[in-house]
Structure 1
Amino acid sequence: MNLFQLRAFDAVSREGSFTRAAKRLCISQPAVTGHIKALEERYDLVLFRRTARSVALTPQGHALAALTGPLFGLVEQAEDLLLANRALVSGRIEIAVDGPHVVMPLLARLRESHPGITVSLILGNAAETCEALLAERASIGVVTEVQPHPDLHIEEIAASRICVVLPRGHALADEAEIDLRRLDGAAMVLREPTSVTRRTFDAACRRRGVAPAILMELDSREAVIEAAAAGLGLGIVSSLERGEDARIRAVPIAGPDLVNRHAIACLARRRNLRLIRAVFDLARSLGPHNRDAGRDRGGMSPGKHA
């Protein structure tokens, strides 16, 4: 068995791309392609379905990836042990996130503390972020309302409050806080139902018997803000996502069930790798800033769990 071929397969399975796998391994893309072709020909199987724009694992590929992921994870741990006495001056880490607002201060601190570390950022929704962690396409995930999982180590790092986005001239724009019941029957423009912010809002509405009039469902927070600014309806955003826009105000909605929790996570068996430990330490150091983002809107202080 050729370990170079297996390593190339593992890199492609994690990255979902021959180009990114080549970059991960610091070799050429044709070399990666050659390793995969040789592996498939030697064992007379197909490991990837290739299209012009994507690469997907076949059932045989999934079965092999379940073995190579832990195998090369152990290799990384061995390398980490051997390098334990060296300064953390270089390396590469993949971070999957379900939104940029919590992770960007962390990346800035990482850049400041370890300028030689290269970060590959994988953007997706909460489910995709967790899947990237479990499939070992990412070493760290920053995700909202993550559920406990036996294979993940999770630490809460921030809390945010759900806010109503209003045009500046709206009757409620000067309120310090809004009771959710005042939105009963209100014309609203919301994110899609799978959005974590939308799910939190919908659940609170059901508990209180509040039924807003949903005029539009949009696929980004930027679209929600633009629609609200144009007067098409009231929007909903997280307090960490509201940004600065002179056309609108984001007013917190009262209630302990209108808070979202944001966490950093990694595979439990990889939590002691030096680079992962360093990122977790930096995330903890950002805790007071992120807690204030939730608390001054009625949020609660983060804790941690595994």
Structure 2
Amino acid sequence: MNLFQLRAFDAVAREGSFTRAAARLFISQPAVTGHIKTLEEHYQITLLRRTARRVELTEEGIKLAAITRAMFGLVDEAQVMLEANRQLLTGRLEVAADGPHLVMPMLASLRERYPGITVNLRLGNAQDTLAALLSEHADVAVLTEVEPRKGLMLRPLKASRICALVPSGHPWQALSGGVEMAQLDQVIMVLREPASTTRRTFDLACEQAGVSPRVLLELDSREAVTEAVAAQLGMGIVSSAEVSQDPRVHAVPINGQGLTNRHLLGCMERRAQLRLIKAFMELAPSYPA
């Protein structure tokens, strides 16, 4: 069995692209293609489907990817042990986050301390971010409202509160003490999709307070909510950790119970001592509250 071929396959499986796999391995794209072609021909198996836009794993490819991910994960751990005393100068870190606002200052701190590290950042909703971490497509992740589970290491970052998002000039903008939950009853709102963590927290708080906003639009991104509020289609909600500097909108505190979210930094326990992951996780205690 040729480990170079397996390493090439593993890189394509992780990256979903021959080009990105080549960059990951610091070899040419034809070399990656050749390794995988030889592997498939030798074992008379199809591991990848190549389309115009992306590379997809076959059923056999999915099974092999699970093995190679674990196998080369152990190789990475062996490298950590052998290089424990070397200075952290280079490397690549896969980071996932359910929003940009908390992770960007951490990436800035990482770059300041270790300028040679390359970071690949993937942004998605809370479910996608957690899934990326658990499947080890991400090394570390910034998460919101994740419960402890076996094999997952979590460190607290900060807490945030849900605020009302109103268009600039709205009467509530002048309320220094914020608004009460009861004032949101029957108010026309534009909100994230129900699967959004911020939306779930808000819906539960409304239910507990006996408040029923009128949801006019459900949108799949924070940016879309901001645009809808700016267009005066309704009021939105936003986490205090993700308040936009857009002058067209204004965040107003909401007074009530159950409007707090916890943000955490996570990695898989078995990989916590990998040098790049450890370096990033150590940024958590110094993150401003």
TM-score (norm 2): 0.95
Task: Tell me the CA shift for residue 187 of structure 1.
Answer: 0.7
Aligned equivalent of 1:255: 256
The answer as to whether partners of 1:47 and 1:60 remain within 8 angstroms in 2 is yes
Aligned equivalent of 2:113: 113
Aligned equivalent of 2:156: 156
Task: Tell me the CA shift for residue 271 of structure 1.
Answer: 0.4
Aligned equivalent of 1:181: 182
Q: Give the Cα–Cα distance (whole angstroms) in 2 for the partners of residues 58 and 252 of structure 1.
A: 49
Aligned equivalent of 1:143: 143
Aligned equivalent of 1:284: 285
Instruction: Give me the CA root mean square deviation.
Output: 1.4
Q: Give the Cα–Cα distance (whole angstroms) in 1 for the partners of residues 203 and 53 of structure 2.
A: 36
Q: Deviations over 1:270-299 (max 9, x none)?
A: 00111111111112211xx2x2xxxxxxxx
Q: Deviations over 1:140-165 (max 9, x none)?
A: 11122223332321112121111101
Q: Give the Cα–Cα distance (whole angstroms) in 2 for the partners of residues 18 and 132 of structure 1.
A: 20
Task: Tell me the CA shift for residue 256 of structure 1.
Answer: 4.1
Task: Tell me the CA shift for residue 118 of structure 1.
Answer: 0.8
Aligned equivalent of 1:217: 218
The answer as to whether partners of 1:13 and 1:137 remain within 8 angstroms in 2 is no
The residue type equivalent to 1:155 in the other structure is R
User: How many aligned residue pairs are there?
Assistant: 288
Task: Tell me the CA shift for residue 122 of structure 1.
Answer: 1.4
The residue type equivalent to 1:191 in the other structure is R
The answer as to whether partners of 1:229 and 1:247 remain within 8 angstroms in 2 is yes
Q: Give the Cα–Cα distance (whole angstroms) in 2 for the partners of residues 178 and 248 of structure 1.
A: 16
SS of aligned partner of 1:217:
strand
Q: Give the Cα–Cα distance (whole angstroms) in 1 for the partners of residues 284 and 56 of structure 2.
A: 33
Determine if the alignment matches structure 1 residue 68 to structure 2 residue 68. yes
Structure 1 stretches of 5 or more lacking a match?
A: 292-306
Task: Tell me the CA shift for residue 190 of structure 1.
Answer: 0.9
Q: Give the Cα–Cα distance (whole angstroms) in 2 for the partners of residues 44 and 160 of structure 1.
A: 54
- Give the stretch that moved more between structures: 157-166 or 202-211: 202-211
Q: Deviations over 1:244-270 (max 9, x none)?
A: 233322012223411111111111100
- Give the stretch that moved more between structures: 106-115 or 12-21: 12-21
CA separation of 1:93 and 1:128: change in aligned 2, threshold 3 A: same
Structure 2 stretches of 5 or more lacking a match?
A: none
- Give the stretch that moved more between structures: 144-153 or 179-188: 144-153
The residue type equivalent to 2:76 in the other structure is E
The residue type equivalent to 1:27 in the other structure is I
SS of aligned partner of 1:211:
coil
